[in-house]
Amino acid sequence: MEQLWAPWRIKYIEIAKQEGCILCDKPREDNDELNYILYRGQKNFIIMNSYPYNAGHLMVAPYRHVAALDELTDDELREHFALASRCVRVLRQAFRPDGFNIGVNMGRVAGAGIDKHIHSHIVPRWLGDSNFMPVTADTKVINEALAETYQKLNGRF
């Protein structure tokens, strides 16, 4: 049997589950590059997913800690989806994907890894980016390091 090495995944597997909320804590820190924060709006921010489905996987999250879309104010909701649209535009320019998956997982049962702080995922997709690896090897191949993706996207928002 052949082996595929994906050593960067061990960080996610071994990471101690933190107290608090990463989507509240990261924007409070003064290190956007280390935290992969690409843009700060008035009510929401854009952050790269540290454990992406594909290169360029972004998330839009409100600063306010709420668990569901219907808990956002009209202003938060308007800016949230304006930023999601902006992510699509920037990712198209930077990576030229063939399509996108855009979604919100509300609640642990719906697949939310961070279920107490609502956020939207914007995932660029390319023809052929899904293959046998996730099915047969439970491994997803990401073709670019997070720091490189950050440098490509930083300043485009």
Most confident by average pLDDT, 14-28, 61-75, 101-115: 61-75
Q: Examine the residue annotation and report whether 65 is marked as an active-site residue of this protein.
A: no
Q: Is residue 11 part of a domain?
A: no
Residue type, 70: D
Q: Is residue 107 part of a domain?
A: yes
Distance CA 22, CA 53 (A): 18
Query: Is the pLDDT at 4 greater than 80, yes or no?
Result: no
Please name which of 135, 153, 157, 137 lies closest in space to residue 145, comparing C-alpha atoms. Answer: 153
Find the domain containing 52 and state its range.
20-153
Q: Is residue 117 part of a domain?
A: yes
Place 135 in a pLDDT band, splitting at 50, 70 and 90: very low
Look up the CATH number of the domain holding residue 57.
Answer: 3.30.428.10
Cβ-contact 91, 53 below 8 angstroms: no
Higher pLDDT, 147 or 143: 147
Q: Is residue 13 part of a domain?
A: no
**143 CB contacts (<8 Å, ≥6 apart)?**
55
Q: Is residue 9 part of a domain?
A: no
Q: Which is the catalytic residue, given 57, 80, 117, 119?
A: 119
**Whole-structure pTM value:** 0.81
Q: Is residue 10 part of a domain?
A: no
Q: Is residue 137 part of a domain?
A: yes
Q: Is residue 7 part of a domain?
A: no
Q: How many domains does the chain have?
A: 1
**pLDDT tens profile 96-123:** 999 999 999 988 888 888 899 999 999 9
